[in-house]
Every structure is written in C-alpha cells, then in structure tokens.
Amino acid sequence: MKLGIVGLPNVGKSTLFNAITQAGAEAANYPFCTIEPNVGVVAVPDYRLDKLAQMYNPEKYTPAVIEFYDIAGLVKGASKGEGLGNKFLSHIREVEAIVHVVRCFEDANIVHVDGSVNPIRDIETINLELIFADMEVLEKRMDKTRKSARSGDRKAQEELEFMERIYKHLEEGKPSRTLDMNDEERELIKQYFLLTSKPVLYAANISEDELINGYEDNKYIKAVEEYAKNEGSEVIPICAKLEEEIASLDGNEKQAFLEDYGLEEPGLNRLIKASYKLLGLISFLTAGPKEVRAWTIKKGTKAPQAAGKIHSDMERGFIRAEVIPFETLINCGSEVSAKEKGLIKSEGKDYVMQDGDVVVFRFNV
C-alpha cells in the first residue's frame, strides 16, 4: 500500500520524508527498507507485537509495513504541464492515499514560495491542480459516454448524470471525495481513477517550540483542522525537523531524547499509524516461538482471504480459523490458559477478521 507525500516547496515535505526513510533504515528485521531514493518503507508501530514477543520469545519479529513515496514538487499550472507537473500527476496516480504536508510555523529564515505562511492557500493550490486534472479526465470520459447515452443506453445515461454531478462539484473547487454518494456510486467512481477521490491526511508542520510547549494558540493549525473537518480528513501536528533528528538516533539515544522533550513517542509513529488507518487497513497477528508477525489486510476481509495473505494454499484449503482477540490473550497470560478457559473461538469461512485478532488457520490441500 502506497502513500504519496505532497506539499509546496519549503513546507517541510523533504525533511519529513528524510525522517521516514531514516526511520525505515532502522527496521532491520524487515528485509528491505528503502527501495530507491524516493520510496521509504517503514514498520507500522504496534505495541501488540512487542507484548506477543515477550510472551513467545520468537526467533523472528516481523511488523506490518507501509510505503511512502516522495512525490515530485508542484507549482501552479501543474495540471497543464508546468514545472514537474506531468511527473507530479503521474506519480500521484500510483498511490492509494495522500499525506499533504502544510507549513504551520513562522520562520524568517525559511522563505515561503508565495511570500507568506498561509496553509489554506497552500492546500488549495495543490487541490486546484488535482481538480483541473480530474476535470480533464472526466471531460474525455463524458464525451465517450454521451454517444452511448444518445443511443438510448439507460445505464450510460445514468452514468453520464453521475459524471456531470461530479464535474459540477469539481467546478465549485471541491475535491470529488467530498461529494455525497451512495455505495453504488462510491464503487463506480473508483473506475475513473480521480486524483481528488484519494483520501488525504494533513501533516501540519509546526515549530520545535510549539511541539514542546503546546500549539493550542497556533492559528494555522486551527485553520487546517477546520478545513480538514469539512472534508472528513484528519490532521496530525508534527515537527518535521525534530522528527528527522529523532529518526537518526539509535534506540537508547532516541528514548533519552524523547524523555528530554517530554514526548511519549515520535510524532512519526502517530503519522504512520494514522496513514495505515487512512488506507482502510487493519492487522491480524500470528504468534509462536518461530515468529511473531503482523499481517496487513483491508478492513472487512474474511478469514479465508486473510489466510491467503500468508499462503495461497491456506486460502484454497481453508477449514477454520482459531481466533482470540489480542487483549483477551494478554489478559489470560498464555495461549494454554486461553484454551482452558474456552476463549479461543473456532470461526468459519464467513468470519470477518478484526484488528488485533491473534489467529491460527487450519487448512488441508
């Protein structure tokens, strides 16, 4: 699953991406961390794996991972090919969701590309370029659909009406993800691959001072939060500069650094977890003396398909899933105790996996 990091020049996008790639380099248990200079693969922080590792003392520890892409810079006119516009748009089409970095701090030494700090203007600059690109895509698609609609094709007529409704919404300067749609329309819009239909998480880049002393009075964050609320998006305040420093430290140094700053965990952890959630992902867990591992699935996945994430044979020969919620297992203290209490449930093919399920799949091929 891929997330694209976007943002205007000098908002902290590159600094945040550097922090992500450095954090990825520390996930030594994972076979690869940085695929190429503009892609960072990082472990999804999960305290449940740590607890299971204490319980099973496994030979191997494998967290879920997520990919972040550093999307090429954008300028006004990108939708018409200005600057690196075409590259920007082609890269953003390849990701499932967007982390939009917006500058929410003042610093006379860091010049803003538009001369002043205004996160809403920055957000709208990028949104408008994506909207223009989507309008162009829809125009071409509507032209083709009109021919079928004129011939009396009822389905084509209904689809054309839907596309016209999307187009009008875009003309009003609103991303397609904020359009009121029913379930059928939500499935249909996926076929159009619109850039503005991708879910967005806003990373509000604040100063080091505000991270330590509080950012309650930061008018920029308040504005971004209000904007995000209107489109159902989340805002994660983060200090990209500090995160880059934290990511470069080893385990003991990192812990001491966090304690000095009065922080429970790196902001990057919150960003990664929020990004994972943004993609509609959950983790089920497998645990034993050989390996403790988190497996990534889409929310709503049924047991046989989850088994298939481990091996296709397990899906093909699925018999049942022996499932216990993580918290229940921890409260029991051991798998043996959980079995004695009858708390490990046997689930069939229609069972919908839940986040944090600890599972053993039974299969026969």
291-324 residue pLDDT tens: 999 999 999 999 999 999 999 999 999 999 999 9
* Domain annotation covers residue 203: yes
State whether residue 183 is helix, strand or coil. Answer: helix
- Residues 108 and 237 placed together within one structural domain of the fold: yes
Q: Is residue 206 part of a domain?
A: yes
Number of domains within the chain:
3
Using alpha carbons only, what angle is made at residue 297 by residues 200 and 294, rounded to the nearest 5 degrees? 110
Mean pLDDT, rounded, for 76-97: 66
Higher pLDDT, 213 or 86: 213
Q: Is 10 annotated as a binding residue?
A: yes
Query: Among 141, 170, 196, where does a domain finish?
Result: 196
Instruction: Return mean pLDDT, the chain.
Output: 88
Q: Which domain holds residue 177?
A: 125-196
Rounded distance, CA 6 to CA 239, Å?
Answer: 16
Q: Are residues 271 and 344 in the same domain?
A: no
Mean pLDDT calculated for residue range 4-25:
82
- The answer to whether residues 179 and 87 belong to one domain is no
Is the pLDDT at 87 greater than 70? The verdict is no
Residue 23: which CATH number?
A: 3.40.50.300
Domain annotation covers residue 349: yes
User: Quick one: pLDDT band at residue 276, thresholds 50, 70, 90?
Assistant: very high
Say if residue 221 is in the same domain as residue 324: no
* Statement to judge: residues 219 and 102 lie in one domain: yes
218 assigned to a ligand binding site: no
Report yes or no on 246 lying in a domain. Answer: yes
Residue 81's pLDDT band, with cuts at 50, 70 and 90, is: low
Question: Of 147, 175, 196, which residue is a domain's last?
Answer: 196
- For the chain, how are helix, strand and coil distributed in percent, rounded to 5? 50, 20, 30
Per-residue pLDDT averaged across 163-167, rounded?
A: 97
Q: Does residue 15 have a known ligand-binding role?
A: yes
CATH number at residue 316: 3.10.20.30
pLDDT of the residue at 250: 84
pLDDT for 72 beyond 90: no
- For residues 183 and 207, state if they share a domain: no
Q: Are residues 96 and 7 in the same domain?
A: yes
Per-residue pLDDT, 152: 86
pLDDT band at 89 (very low <50, low <70, confident <90, very high): confident
For 265, list phi and psi in degrees, rounded to 5: -155, 160
174 is in an annotated binding site: no
- Residue 293 in any domain: the answer is no
Q: Are 75 and 203 in the same domain? A: yes
Are 108 and 205 in a shared domain?
yes
Tell me what the mean pLDDT of segment 36-61 comes to: 89
Segment 108-151, tens digit of pLDDT: 776 566 667 899 999 998 899 889 989 999 999 999 999 889 88
Asked if residue 103 and residue 20 are part of one domain, the reply reads yes
Would you say residue 256 lies in a domain?
yes
Note the pTM of the prediction, 2 decimals.
Answer: 0.85
H-state helical runs in the chain? 13-26, 47-56, 85-93, 119-150, 154-171, 183-189, 208-213, 219-230, 240-247, 251-260, 267-278, 303-310, 312-316, 326-332, 335-340
pLDDT value at 96 more than 50: yes
Confirm whether 141 is domain-assigned. Answer: yes
Q: Are residues 209 and 352 in the same domain?
A: no
pLDDT tens across 226-264, in order? 999 998 899 999 999 999 999 888 878 988 999 888 888
Is 82 part of a structural domain of the chain?
yes
Residue 155 marked ligand-binding: no
Give the pLDDT of residue 142: 95
Average pLDDT, integer, range 331-342: 95
- Tell me: do 183 and 206 sit in the same domain: no
Taken as a whole, the chain contains a residue count of: 365
Name which of 284, 279, 281, 331 is nearest 307 in CA terms.
284
- The pLDDT, as a whole number, for residue 94 is 85
- Output the domain CATH number for residue 186: 1.10.150.300
Cα–Cα distance measured from residue 244 to residue 247, given in angstroms and rounded to the nearest whole number = 5
pLDDT the model gives residue 34: 46
Of 5-14, 35-44, 73-82, 89-98, minimum mean pLDDT range: 73-82
Q: Is residue 14 a known part of a binding site?
A: yes
